[in-house]
Amino acid sequence: MPDRFDLPAGFRWGAATAAYQIEGAVDEDGRGPSVWDTFAARPGAVRGGHTGAVACDHYHRYPEDIALMKGLGLDGYRFSVSWPRVLPTGAGAVNPAGLAFYDRLVDALLEAGITPLPTLFHWDLPQGLEDRGGWLNRDTAYRFADYATVVADRLGDRVPAWITLNEPFVHTVYGYALGTHAPGRTLMFEALPAAHHQLLGHGLAASLLHDRGLEAMLSNNLTPVEPASSDPADLAAAAAYDALHNRLFTDPVLLGRYPDLSALGVPDDIFGAVRPGDLDLIHTPGLDGLGLNFYNPTRVAAPTEPGLPFDLVDIPDVPHTAFGWPVVPEALTQLLINLRELYGKALPPVTITENGCSVAEETVPDQPRIDFMAAHLDALARAAAEGIDIRGYYTWSLLDNFEWAEGLFSQRFGLVHVDFATQVRTPKASYAWYRDLIAAHRKRFAGQGVG
Ligand code: FCB
C-alpha cells in the first residue's frame, strides 16, 4: 500500500474553473451572448433565477484570484476561454478586447509561476451559433476549429498544452437530451449528433494545435458503471449506460470507432451524423493526455418502465455530497484500472482535470472537502502504484461559483469562499490543507530537480 500521497515527482498540482461560472462581465468589452445567458434568463431554468452575469467578477478581479493561486503554490491553472468573448457571434470578426483579456490572464499567470491550461469549450456556445442549430449543426465543428485557430495563434507562444472540450457527455445529455442545461433541448437519444459534432470539433482542433507544436487533451467526465446485481438484465443495462456515458466519448478518440449503441436504439452512423472519414479526423491527431473529471461511480439497473434501456439507482451506505452524489473514492482507482484494461497502449497519460465536492452551507471550516480530496488523492496514488501514468490533479474548484442549473449559492465547490454580494474571497480550511500538501510534495522531491 503506498503512502497516502505517494504521487510521482513532477506531478502537477492545480485548480480548475470555467469562464461562464466565474467571469461575469457578460456585456463588457464586446462579448456576445452565449447559450448560458439565454438559458439562465428563462424562468425556472436556474435555481433562484441566478445567472452568470456577475458570478465571481473574475473578469475584473483576476489579479486577486491569481494571488490566491500563488498562495496555494499551484503548478497549473485550468480555466476556459469564453468563445463569445473572442468571437461574439461565434464566427466572423474577432473581438480584440475579448482576446486581450486572455492575453493579460496568461501573462499574469506566468508571472506568478503558474502554467495556464486553457479549455477551449466549457459549454458557453455563442448564441449566434445556437441560432444555427448549435452542436446539432455539423458546421459548428468547423467554426470551433476557426475559433481554436484564433486563440492558439494568440496564446500558443506561451501556452504549451490545451484542452479542447469539457465533458461532451454532460453537455450533450444535459444540454441537448434532457434540457436541464443550456441550450435546453429535449431530444433524448436524437441529441447524439451533438456529441459527434463536438468530437469532430475536438479532432479538428487537436490537429491544428499539433500543427503549431502544441499539446491537445480532452476532458471527459467518466464514471465506473456498476451493475445493480449479476442478473443478466442489470448487466445489459450497465453495458448500455457505459457505452453512452464513457465509451461514446473515449472510444472514437482513442480507438477510432464508436461503441455499439444499438441497445440505445442509436444507429451506427448516429442518425446520419457520422460521415466517411470523420472517425479518422477524430482519431488520427491522437491525444497527448486524457483529462479525467471524476466525481462518482454510477449504479445501473434494468429499467422498470418502458423508455430508457437503463435505470440509474442510488448507491446506498456511502456518504453523499451536498449535491447528493455518492462518495466512493476507490471507484477512481477502479476507473483508471478499467481504462488501462480497455485501451491498453492507446491510453495516453492521464491528468485529473476536475475532482472535488460541494459542501452544504459552508463558510470556512470545510472538513468534508478535505476528507473528499484526501481520499481521492489516496485512490490516485493507488492507481499510480499500479503503474498508471498520472500526471496531475486539478481540483474543482478554486472559487465558489455559478454551478450551472443550481445557481450561485446552493452548491459551493470552492477552496475559497465567495460572498456573492460583496465579492469578498475567504480561503477555507481546504485551501490551507491543499497549500500544505503541495508544499510537502514539493519538499519531498526537492534537490532532484523535479517536483
Ligand atoms: C462538472 C463541470 C464543472 C462543474 C462540476 C461540478 O461536470 O465540468 O463545470 O460544474 O461538474
Instruction: For 158-203, write each residue's pLDDT tens digit.
Output: 999 999 999 999 999 999 999 999 999 999 999 999 999 999 999 9
d(CA 245, CA 261): 11
Cβ–ligand 1 contact at 411 (below 6 Å): no
* C-alpha–C-alpha distance, residues 298 and 307, integer Å: 19
Res. 248: pLDDT tops 90: yes
Whole-angstrom distance, CA of residue 330 vs CA of residue 110: 35
Share of the chain above pLDDT 70, in %: 98
* pLDDT tens-digit series, residues 340-360: 999 999 999 999 999 999 997
**Is the CB of 354 within 6 Å of ligand 1?**
yes
The tens digit of pLDDT for each residue in 273-312 reads: 999 999 999 999 999 999 999 999 999 999 999 889 999 9
Task: Kindly report the average pLDDT of the chain as a whole number.
Answer: 96
Residues 396, 355: contact at Cβ < 8 Å?
A: yes
Is ligand 1 within 6 A of the CB of residue 170? yes
For 13, other C-beta atoms within 10 Å of its C-beta total 21
Indicate whether 378 pLDDT > 80. yes
The residue among 429, 317, 411 whose CA lies nearest residue 373 is: 429
**Ligand 1 in contact with 124 (CB < 6 A)?**
no
Residue from 173, 354, 358 whose mutation best tests the ligand 1 pocket (most atoms within 8 A of CB): 354
User: What is the C-alpha to C-alpha distance for residues 341 and 138, in angstroms, rounded to an integer?
Assistant: 33
Grid cell, residue 324, equals 447528493
Q: Give 244-248's long-range contacts (Cβ < 8 A, gap of 24+).
A: 244/169, 244/173, 245/169, 245/221, 245/298, 246/169, 246/220, 246/222, 248/169, 248/192, 248/195
- Express each pLDDT in 219-237 by its tens digit: 999 999 999 999 999 999 9
SS3 261: coil
**Contact yes or no for 188/46 (Cβ under 8 A):** no
CB 221 less than 6 A from any atom of ligand 1: yes
The strand pair at 416-418 and 425-427 is best described as antiparallel
- Residue indicated by cell numbers 461514446: 248
Given a cut of 70, whether residue 21 has pLDDT beyond it is yes
Three-state DSSP class for residue 258: coil
From atom 10 of ligand 1, which residue's Cα is the shortest distance away? 403
Encoded amino acid at 186, one letter: T
Angle, in degrees to the nearest 10, between helices 367-385 and 429-444: 30
pLDDT of residue 1: 33
Query: Which residues, in sequence order, are bridge partners of residue 218?
Result: 290
| 354 labelled catalytic | yes
CA of residue 217 relative to chain centroid, distance: 11
Cα–Cα distance for residue pair 84/94, rounded to 1 Å: 10
DSSP 191: G
For the cut 60, the answer to whether the pLDDT of residue 451 exceeds it is no
Catalytic residue among 23, 226, 354, 362: 354
* Largest distance between two CA atoms of the chain: 62
Give the Cα separation of 309 and 268 in Å (integer). 17
DSSP state of 163: E
Distance 22 CA to ligand 1 centre (A): 12
Please, are residues 394 and 377 in contact by the beta-carbon 8 Å criterion?
Answer: no
Is 226 among the catalytic positions?
Answer: no
